[in-house]
Amino acid sequence: MADALERDPHTWLTTSDLTAVYRKLIDVFDRFDIPATWAFVAAFAHREEEVRDCPYLVENPLLWRDGDWTASFRAALQSGNADGWMCPAALEIVASSGRHEIASHGFSHVPLAENLIEAQVFDREMIELSQFWGRRGVRPTTFVFPRNQPGYLERLGSAGFEAYRPPAKLERQRNQIARLCRLAGEFNVLEKPENHGRSGTPGTLPPAILLNHRAGGRRFVPMKITLERVRRLLDNAITTRRVVHLYSHPHNFLTGDHQLELLCATLQLVSERVKQARMRVMTQATYARDVLGSA
């Protein structure tokens, strides 16, 4: 949730605000009768007493390229200011709906690319994931890599995940030029939908497109342009039998200008085409089973 934030998250990101936004989002998706995939960072869904009983999170440094990944988290716990770091109610809200997929977004959200962490860190993340989801009685089958940086795919398949979401072409680079290209792409109403994914262990889902986060420079992208882009993507996918895979982040709805309004208008476009029997909405797990599983 708190990935690469430009401001101190504790100045604006609170557990109560996160709980409220998850409730709003579930209400919106259920109102439009559209199932969605909710990829959770397991540590984010922990109760505080669970975190304190987890040596992996609170006792030793979690080493990655830039140092100790959990240092700020441990400091927040020790200072008694962990508000916004965890929101177990979010998982309960999604699970109680009974219509959405619960996927995995890693255990600690440490990036899992092979050039960033050692294999033993990846394996430990998978062990911690298995233990956490076992306590919750949930078995996620699809995976969204932290920061959208895939790695150790054979190990991911061995851990029981059936499919993962790869980065879109413009998300493979994380530099200023790539960010500017992604911003310019928000005006590209001629963008084409994605080809279908590939079967394997794990299978590869179609890359996803971020629903414009209306914050920073992106708030100046007219909403009508974003909706026209989505409309054309959907209609092109229907004609060519391809895929539109949209995603967002719950905290975007705390920081984005009229972000919920944009989501509702987007889901309206989807709902209209579903009711006309022109398209089908799938969660990642449904796509992995019904499309990749039969490939």
Asked if the bond preceding 202 is cis, omega within 30° of 0, the reply is yes
- Residue 102 to residues 75, 90, 138, Cα–Cα distance (Å): 29, 11, 8
pLDDT greater than 60 at residue 138: yes
User: What is the predicted pLDDT for the residue at 294?
Assistant: 60
User: What is the predicted pLDDT for the residue at 230?
Assistant: 98
**Domains recognised in the chain with CATH numbers:** 12-292 (3.20.20.370)
CA angle (247, 57, 36) in 5-degree steps: 20
pLDDT greater than 80 at residue 8: no
Q: Which residue has the tokens 């504790």?
A: 10
pLDDT tens-place string over residues 95-113: 999 999 999 999 999 999 9
pLDDT tens-place string over residues 78-96: 998 899 999 999 999 999 9
Q: What is the mean pLDDT of the segment spanning 140-156? A: 97
Mean predicted lDDT score pLDDT of the chain: 93
Of 145, 122, 83, 121, the C-alpha closest to 284 is 145
User: What is the predicted pLDDT for the residue at 295?
Assistant: 57
pLDDT greater than 50 at residue 269: yes
- For residues 129 and 169, is the Cβ–Cβ distance under 8 A? no
User: What is the predicted pLDDT for the residue at 4?
Assistant: 38
User: What is the predicted pLDDT for the residue at 172?
Assistant: 76
- The DSSP H or E segment spanning 287 is helix 284-287
Burial class (CB in 10 A: 0-12, 13-18, 19+), 107: buried
Split at pLDDT 50, 70, 90, the class of 13 is confident
pLDDT above 70: percentage of residues in the chain:
95
CA-only gyration radius of the chain, Å: 19
pLDDT greater than 50 at residue 266: yes
pLDDT greater than 70 at residue 6: no
pLDDT tens-place string over residues 31-76: 999 999 999 999 999 999 999 999 999 988 898 887 899 999 999 9
| Other C-beta atoms lying within 10 Å of the C-beta of residue 192 | 13
What pTM was estimated for this model as a whole?
Answer: 0.93
CA distance 70 to 49: 17
Split at pLDDT 50, 70, 90, the class of 114 is very high
- For residues 101 and 142, is the Cβ–Cβ distance under 8 A? yes
User: What is the predicted pLDDT for the residue at 2?
Assistant: 39
Q: What is the mean pLDDT of the segment spanning 123-133? A: 98
Of 155, 167, 142, 148, the C-alpha closest to 289 is 142
User: What is the predicted pLDDT for the residue at 178?
Assistant: 79
pLDDT above 90: percentage of residues in the chain:
84
- Residue 292 to residues 117, 139, 229, 246, Cα–Cα distance (Å): 29, 19, 27, 18
User: What is the predicted pLDDT for the residue at 174?
Assistant: 73
Report helix angle 259-275 to 15-31, nearest 10. 20
- Residue 175 to residues 8, 66, 170, 266, 269, Cα–Cα distance (Å): 21, 16, 10, 29, 33
- For residues 184 and 145, is the Cβ–Cβ distance under 8 A? no
CA distance 135 to 68: 27
